[in-house]
């Protein structure tokens, strides 16, 4: 029995380690390239300005690196496959884990349909079915959801296969953009007269610093506070990072692949985010950002490379499907974690013959289908951005809030983990197989920044903020009522190769924790 009065029950069946090491490497590279990266960047770019966007991505990248370091330490030293929920429950308590886990699930139930509908809208660019555009988008969206359903109820290795292929496509597109953008910036390709400088040749900082005013006013046209107030919309671009940890935990060699995948996140952030963002800032004025299309497509089209527009439309289609696929994967694991920890009905942790949480998948995908059809019925086919229909931006904000809350839980859990180790007489430097780098400064910085970003959301979008708060509060209240009624299970179901903190690190004689037990 652990400190919270729970008993661990070993099970011979658990999630299969069916994801290959090469899957993890590719998912690690492409998993953080979602549709919000291609579409959401236009929003942050136009609302923050070039200098603020670059600085925001540097800060956000540093923050996510801290999150992944914390996640790697937990995943390897206390092997669990119940997603981040297992750690938030063990080190933050049932209340926090319930609120975070259910909010994460509800968010994706609404966000996955938007990505499926986006997939349908983009498919119309390539193959228009013999129906009206809206009906054609609906059919393509239904096909996308059907494929998502099949992928997530079959063997987990197929998730690895599909996400790896999609990652290759997304990575290739980003590399292509970087090459083209550098050549444009050097004045080697593109229009003879650059659209914003009235002259050809080397661009340098001409676009970024064009116009009147000081250099600082051009780099930070909305001030510096906007970096924090819009941090949620910056952080949401990194969502998918936690999928790297989740997929690595289901790989065949987690002790090797988990830390390797998480350590490389810094290089991925630089290559995939900072370099393209810097190039965009030097090629497109922030006030020209078009919210109705990918900023990548807009940039290349402005400089005469219109042939790239179709390519990036396809890539955005791939990213939308990939985001929905990885989101469903992570959400199902979250629900599985809630179930094995006793914070969701037990039947949701049942596994099918492929050792995939079938019931948790169906429990998630059915409301996803309902929300998808509802979105279509209210004719929200303008969901891909713009002021006329802000639903996509709203969903980005909600996803950013709950995703950030999940990351805060991971960092907080790791800090409590370290604290309890010392209380039990262990030296983290000696007993831990994998240790988070730059501890505790990086983790504390990540927590403070993310909490500040969530609080600042109330000033930017009160609807999103209060909707997320209500969802979290509702989950906690329902859990508290059920617990009072005695309907909450106190048995935690774990696999043969999984372990609880109390089991692996019992109090050593003479330690602070041992003295408390004796007293």
pLDDT at 474 over 50: yes
Strand ranges (E), 174-325: none
Q: Residues 6 or more apart from 268 whose CB is under 8 A from it?
A: 28, 29, 32
What pLDDT score does 388 carry? 42
What pLDDT score does 466 carry? 87
Mean pLDDT, residues 368-385 taken together: 66
What is the rounded CA–CA span in Å between residue 350 and residue 332?
A: 12
As beta bridge partners, residue 8 has 492
**CA angle centred on 299, ends 383 and 275, rounded to 5°:** 100
The string of pLDDT tens digits covering residues 3-45 is 555 555 555 455 555 555 556 666 655 656 777 777 778 888 8
CB-neighbour burial class of residue 275 (10 A; exposed 0-12, middle 13-18, buried 19+): middle
pLDDT at 276 over 80: yes
What pLDDT score does 56 carry? 92
What is the rounded CA–CA span in Å between residue 227 and residue 412?
A: 23
What pLDDT score does 383 carry? 45
Lowest mean pLDDT across 114-128, 271-285, 439-453? 114-128
152 pLDDT band, cuts 50/70/90, is confident
Residue 39 tokens read as: 């579409």
The pTM score is: 0.84
What pLDDT score does 421 carry? 94
What pLDDT score does 51 carry? 92
**What are the C-alpha distances in Å from 172 to residues 5, 312, 439?**
50, 11, 34
pLDDT at 157 over 50: yes
Cβ proximity of 124 and 140 under 8 Å: yes
What pLDDT score does 412 carry? 95
Lowest mean pLDDT across 126-135, 221-230, 456-465, 478-487? 126-135
Angle between helices 241-249 and 254-263 (to 10 degrees): 170
What pLDDT score does 378 carry? 63
What pLDDT score does 253 carry? 67
Residue 173: asked if its preceding bond is cis (omega within 30°), the reply is: no
Mean pLDDT, residues 84-98 taken together: 87
What pLDDT score does 12 carry? 47
Residue 271 tokens read as: 């290559």
Mean pLDDT, residues 116-136 taken together: 76
pLDDT at 469 over 90: no
What is the rounded CA–CA span in Å between residue 356 and residue 359?
A: 9
pLDDT at 335 over 60: yes
Strand ranges (E), 200-355: none
Element at 424 (helix H, strand E): none
């Amino acid at each position: 029995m652990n400190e919270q009065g729970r008993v661990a029950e070993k099970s011979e069946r658990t999630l299969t380690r069916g994801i290959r090491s090469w899957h993890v490497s590719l998912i690690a590279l492409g998993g953080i390239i979602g549709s919000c990266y291609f579409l959401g960047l236009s929003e942050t770019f136009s609302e923050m300005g070039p200098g603020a966007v670059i600085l925001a991505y540097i800060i956000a990248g540093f923050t996510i690196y801290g999150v992944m370091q914390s996640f790697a330490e937990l995943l390897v030293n206390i092997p669990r496959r119940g997603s981040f929920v297992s750690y938030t429950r063990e080190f933050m308590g049932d209340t926090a884990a319930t609120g975070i886990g259910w909010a994460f699930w509800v968010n994706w139930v609404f966000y996955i349909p938007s990505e499926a509908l986006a997939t349908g809208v983009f498919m119309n660019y390539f193959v228009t079915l013999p129906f009206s555009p809206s009906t054609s988008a609906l059919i393509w969206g239904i096909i996308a959801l059907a494929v998502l359903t099949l992928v997530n109820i079959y063997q987990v290795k197929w998730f690895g296969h599909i996400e790896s292929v999609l990652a290759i496509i997304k990575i290739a597109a980003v590399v292509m953009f970087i090459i083209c953008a550098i050549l444009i910036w050097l004045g080697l390709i593109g229009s003879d007269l650059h659209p914003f400088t009235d002259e050809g040749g080397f661009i340098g900082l001409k676009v970024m610093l064009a116009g009147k005013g000081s250099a600082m006013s051009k780099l930070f046209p909305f001030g510096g506070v906007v970096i924090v107030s819009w941090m949620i919309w910056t952080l949401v671009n990194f969502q998918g990072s936690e999928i790297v940890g989740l997929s690595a935990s289901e790989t065949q060699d987690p002790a090797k692949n988990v830390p390797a995948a998480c350590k490389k996140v810094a290089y991925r952030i630089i290559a995939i985010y900072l370099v393209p963002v810097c190039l965009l800032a030097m090629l497109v004025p922030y006030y020209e950002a078009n919210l109705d299309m990918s900023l990548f497509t807009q940039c290349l089209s402005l400089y005469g490379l219109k042939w790239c527009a179709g390519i990036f439309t396809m890539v955005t289609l791939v990213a939308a499907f990939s985001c929905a696929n990885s989101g469903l994967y992570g959400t199902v694991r979250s629900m599985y974690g809630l179930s094995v920890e006793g914070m969701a009905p037990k039947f949701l942790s049942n596994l099918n013959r492929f050792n995939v949480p079938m019931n948790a998948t169906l429990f998630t995908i059915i409301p996803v289908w309902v929300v998808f059809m509802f979105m279509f019925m209210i004719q929200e086919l303008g969901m891909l951005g713009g002021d006329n229909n802000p639903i996509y931006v709203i969903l980005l904000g909600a996803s950013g809030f709950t995703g950030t809350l999940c990351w805060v839980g991971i960092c907080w859990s790791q800090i409590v983990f370290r604290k309890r180790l010392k209380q039990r007489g262990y030296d983290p430097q000696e007993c831990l197989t994998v240790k988070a780098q730059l501890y505790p400064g990086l983790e504390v910085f990540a927590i403070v920044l993310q909490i500040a970003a969530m609080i600042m959301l109330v000033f930017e979008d009160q609807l999103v903020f209060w909707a997320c708060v209500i969802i979290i509060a509702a989950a906690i209240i329902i859990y508290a009522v059920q617990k009072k009624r005695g309907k909450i299970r106190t048995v935690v179901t774990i696999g043969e190769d999984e372990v609880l903190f109390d089991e692996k690190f019992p109090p050593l004689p003479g330690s602070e924790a041992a003295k408390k037990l004796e007293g």
